[in-house]
Amino acid sequence: MKLQRSSGILLHPTSLPGPYGIGDIGPAAHQWLDDLAAADCKLWQVLPLCPTGYADSPYQCFSTFAGNPYLTSPDLLLEEGLVSSEELAACPEFPEEAVDYGPVIRWKLSLLDTAFGRFQGGGFRRLHQDFETFRASNRDWLEDFALFMALKDLYNLKPWTEWPAPLRDRDSLQLQKARTTYAEDLTRHAFRQFLFFRQWKALRARAAEIDIKIIGDLPIFVAHDSADVWANKELFYLDDAGQPSVMSGVPPDYFSETGQLWGNPLYRWEAHEQTDYAWWLSRFRAVFKLVDVVRVDHFRGFVDYWEVPGGAENAIEGRWLPGPGAPFLQRVVDELGDLPIIAEDLGEINPEVYEVRDQFNLPGMKILQFAFDGGLTNDFLPHHYPANCIVYTGTHDNDTNFGWWENADEEELQFAREYLGVTGSDISWDLIRAAWRSKANVAITPLQDVLDLPTSARMNFPGTLGGNWVWRMRKEAFSPELQKRLAALNRETHR
């Protein structure tokens, strides 16, 4: 895959402005697309859109196939007649610049239950027809997911490994009994998914109308406490109680001295191969229904992956093992065609990862903030970039440009001043300009850098719990003046 010379902004929908405590995919998201178009940007990059679980991370979700119901727009529910203006007016006063997930989730789910009750109460004939069509066409993942969520509700959100053994182990008679007993709850969870996908489909259609492509994000691993693992245990390394016998992570790197222990169960790749990679093919099909291009997070895991023993406290003790490699990706290509994939190829990388990436002509990633230590041989310096790559000023895991500049050591700062030919007084935009002027086909920056925000606006601190994924933009922050400034840079750099 080769992307055309273009540019874009990284902004997760949770960060959009609005009165409901969390950004959503309603009017503010449609306005965001118009603002991107006004800035002559052709790409909008988001984080995973799945239902968040542990620590509210979009990289630890209850399903890789489902959508996040917290992103559903109350305003669009009002337009459908599923909620009333009085019910929206009763929304609590939430913080404007950060997501307070606990109260927001409680209110949002209550509102979705109100919408479901009204939907079930009568009328909405066309909506009922659309819902039944949606449910039937997504049955392969939706029924397991809806049952999983209904059981999580029943058992006070406990992980599936703490459910009664017959349900934990998916005894067929007990599963059928649960589907019958909790049929209304399954329908409610399926309806939440219907609303999300209906609203997202309209948003993506609007993006296509104004020639904006959406870049999604696919974590290579899935959460242990997910419908994916519970319904497909044979595809993962688990013990008899369902706990991971080995776990995912990465060894120590520039993000963490003890490595990153993600804790996800690892794939039994031989089991996937025996099914002709059916689960993975379904997963790719599902994500490409939502987005135009996908960034595969931790792409190297297809080539080799870090295995940490189950129960370990950190990721220091582990070993590299081979992944499915090029034969797996060739199977995906044979089934789905050319791969519109960005390979996240950061960190200490086995050269074979680059070989596989290049075999399929996949663009890799360059992070400009990483460029200014190590001298002129640093591969993240723009003069080393191939055309077929994506340059980011930083990602969701980085500090903001402003914060990075405040915290970098003086030697790094001096090299950056000399290399970029700047004083650093406008460092956020200095790095944006350097990325845009590079020969990388695609340049992307987080909105926080466009807004020149400090570390407090950072989206994620890898290896930490709490306080992540909460930043929200102020309404009108991406002003017409900033849009014009970015549009001028896009014209100047032929993006």
Q: What is the pLDDT of residues 198-244, one digit of tens each?
A: 999 999 999 999 999 999 999 999 999 999 999 999 999 999 999 99
Beta bridge partners of 304: 322
Q: Confirm whether 297 is a catalytic residue.
A: yes
Which one of 344, 345, 399, 449 is the catalytic residue? Answer: 344
Q: Confirm whether 234 is a catalytic residue.
A: no
Long-range contacts of 282-286 (CB under 8 A, 24+ apart): 282/65, 282/140, 282/141, 283/64, 283/65, 283/218, 284/218, 284/332, 284/336, 285/336, 286/64, 286/65, 286/141
Which one of 225, 297, 345, 430 is the catalytic residue? Answer: 297
For residue 1, the tally of other CB atoms under 10 A from its CB is 14
Q: What is the per-residue pLDDT across 36-65, written as a single tens digit (0 to 9) for each?
A: 999 999 999 999 999 999 899 999 999 999
Secondary structure of the chain in HEC code, one letter for each residue: CCCCCEEEEECCHHHCCCCCCCCCCCHHHHHHHHHHHHCCCCEEECCCCCCECHHHCCCCECCCCCCCHHHCCHHHHHHHCCCCHHHHHCCCCCCCCECCHHHHHHHHHHHHHHHHHHHHCCCCHHHHHHHHHHHHHCHHHHHHHHHHHHHHHHCCCCCHHHCCHHHHCCCHHHHHHHHHHCHHHHHHHHHHHHHHHHHHHHHHHHHHHCCCEEEEEEECCCCCCCHHHHHCHHHECECCCCCECEEEEECCECCECCCEEEEEECECHHHHHHCCCHHHHHHHHHHHCCCCEEEEECHHHHCEEEEEECCCCCCCCCEEEECCHHHHHHHHHHHHCCCCEEECCCCCCCHHHHHHHHHCCCCEEEEHHHCCCCHHHCCCCHHHCCCCEEEECCCCCCCCHHHHHHHCCHHHHHHHHHHHCCCCCCHHHHHHHHHHHCCCCEEEEEHHHHCCCCHHHCCCCCCCCCCCCCECCCCCCCCHHHHHHHHHHHHHCCC
Tokens encoding 132? 């039944």
- The Cα 19–Cα 37 span in angstroms is 24
pTM beyond 0.85: yes
Tokens encoding 144? 């397991």
Residue 360 near residue 309, CB atoms below 8 Å: no
Tokens encoding 404? 């990075």
Amino acid sitting at position 388: N
φ, ψ for residue 280, nearest 5 deg: -65, -40
Q: How many CA atoms lie within 13 A of 150 on its CB side?
A: 23
Residue 144, CA distances (Å) to 106, 161, 228, 353, 385 in order? 23, 16, 9, 34, 44
Which residue bears the tokens 């489902």? 66
Which one of 352, 397, 426, 452 is the catalytic residue? Answer: 397
Of 224, 237, 251, the closest CA to residue 63 belongs to 224
How many residues are recorded in the chain? 495
- The Cα 327–Cα 335 span in angstroms is 12
Of 213, 226, 248, the closest CA to residue 60 belongs to 226
> 255: burial class by Cβ within 10 Å (0-12, 13-18, 19+)?
middle
Residue 104 near residue 233, CB atoms below 8 Å: no
Query: 359: which residues sit within 8 A by CB, 6+ positions away?
Result: 326, 329
For residue 129, the tally of other CB atoms under 10 A from its CB is 10
pLDDT by 10s per residue, the chain, length 495: 678 999 999 999 999 999 999 999 999 999 999 999 999 999 999 999 999 998 999 999 999 999 999 999 999 999 999 999 999 999 999 999 999 999 999 999 999 999 999 999 988 999 999 999 999 999 999 999 999 999 999 999 999 999 999 999 999 999 999 999 999 999 999 999 999 999 999 999 999 999 999 999 999 999 999 999 999 999 999 999 999 999 998 888 766 788 888 889 999 999 999 999 999 999 999 999 999 999 999 999 999 999 999 988 889 989 999 999 999 999 999 999 988 999 999 987 889 999 999 999 999 999 999 999 989 999 999 999 999 999 999 999 999 999 999 999 999 999 999 999 999 999 999 999 999 999 999 999 999 999 999 999 999 998 788 899 999 999 999 999 999 999 999 999 999
